[in-house]
Chains A and B, each alone.
Chain A
Amino acid sequence: MAYCSHLMVNPDMNMFLAMILGGLIGMILMTIMMLLLMPFCGAFEVMIPLHINGMLIGMSAAMLSTLPSISTHLITSGGALAGLMVSVSVYFSNKHLTQS
């Protein structure tokens, strides 16, 4: 998601516009992945983490892509790390809510 946003955003673009575009790219990718994963993992189980990841990572990666000092590698790794953190947070949130 971060890599796709980075590829689509022009480094000369205004940061705010890049953020909007990144959010849109994240949402589109999220919807495609959701449709692919939903029959196997459950609708809500994929919707919630993917949606948060799509918005958060798409927007952040696109904004960072407008900064010349940030490399593609850093954006992609940052996106992967953020994605992992969101997924783990949702997992533990689910454990907490379903056991309470």
Chain B
Amino acid sequence: MKSKKQSYDKVAQSFDFLRAGDMRRWESHQKTLFQNLTGKVLYVGTGTGLETVNFPAGLNVTAIDLSRQMLEKSRERVANYSGKMHLCQMDAEITGFRDDTFDTVLTVCVLCSVRHPVPCLKELKRVLKPEGKLVLFEHVLSKNPFYAIALKTMSNLTERLEGTFLDRDTLSNAEKAGFKILSHKNVYLDIVKAVTARSA
């Protein structure tokens, strides 16, 4: 199996095209959710920086991604952002930041792709200040059995092709990592969710 980094490097060229439909549908939901971003922000899994257009202006953002190709593709969007944003190539499961560094941590469709979601969330909790906020825009396994079958079947394919899991229970994982869910809103069915959480 290809490494995550290789697989994201490879998909970087077609990433914007593949995500175009999602971005059109999610724009207003992301703009509302991203109003929760305050202070020093860690943007995990930047990808090609698609979501930066939905960020409120004037934030101080540290954007990390595992893939160099993705980061290269994101440079133009990062440069156009009306605030401070700098890029780092880093693994979300082992970041190089000190404890209690950030006021807000944001992930957009990241916890479906990391190898170990709970340790990754624990790492994000470590770098988040105790009163800080975790903001998630993620897809999770549906509670509806018809949708869950579809997601579990497709997950077998996406896991092999691009290392994305469609059957994760991210809200429970966040609680296992020591977060308390403050709010969660369904964006599409009960699969795509906008979530805010803080340290329990």
A71 at the interface (CB under 8 A from B): no
Is the beta-carbon distance between B147 and A48 smaller than 8 angstroms? yes
Bound complex: CA A52 to CA B149 (Å): 9
Name B185's closest neighbour in chain A (CB-CB): A98
Chain A interface helix/strand/loop/mixed? helix
Asked whether B146 lies within 8 Å of A52 as measured between CB atoms, the reply is yes
Q: How large is the interface on B (under 10, 10 to 19, 20 to 34, 35 or more residues)?
A: 20 to 34
Q: Are A44 and B192 in contact (CB under 8 A)?
A: yes
Contacts of A48 in B (CB 8 A): 147, 150-151, 189, 191
Binary interface profile of B, 1-45, with partner A (CB < 8 Å = 1, else 0)? 000000000000000011111101110000000000000000000
Interface residues on A, range: 20 to 34
**In the bound complex, do residue A44 and residue B20 qualify as a contact, i.e. CB atoms below 8 Å apart?**
no
Main SS at interface, chain B: helix
- Considering only residues 72-100 of chain A, those with a C-beta below 8 Å from chain B are 90, 93-94, 97-98, 100
Contact A51-B153, Cβ < 8 Å, known A39-B20, A42-B24: yes
Bound form: Cα–Cα A93–B146 in Å:
12
Please give the residue numbers on chain B whose beta carbons come within 8 Å of chain A beta carbons, in ascending order: 17-22, 24-26, 139, 144, 146-147, 149-151, 153-154, 157, 185-192
A-B pairs with beta carbons under 8 Å apart, 23 shown: A27-B153, A31-B157, A37-B21, A39-B17, A40-B20, A41-B25, A42-B22, A43-B22, A44-B22, A44-B139, A44-B189, A44-B192, A45-B21, A46-B21, A47-B150, A48-B150, A51-B154, A52-B150, A90-B189, A93-B144, A94-B189, A98-B185, A100-B186
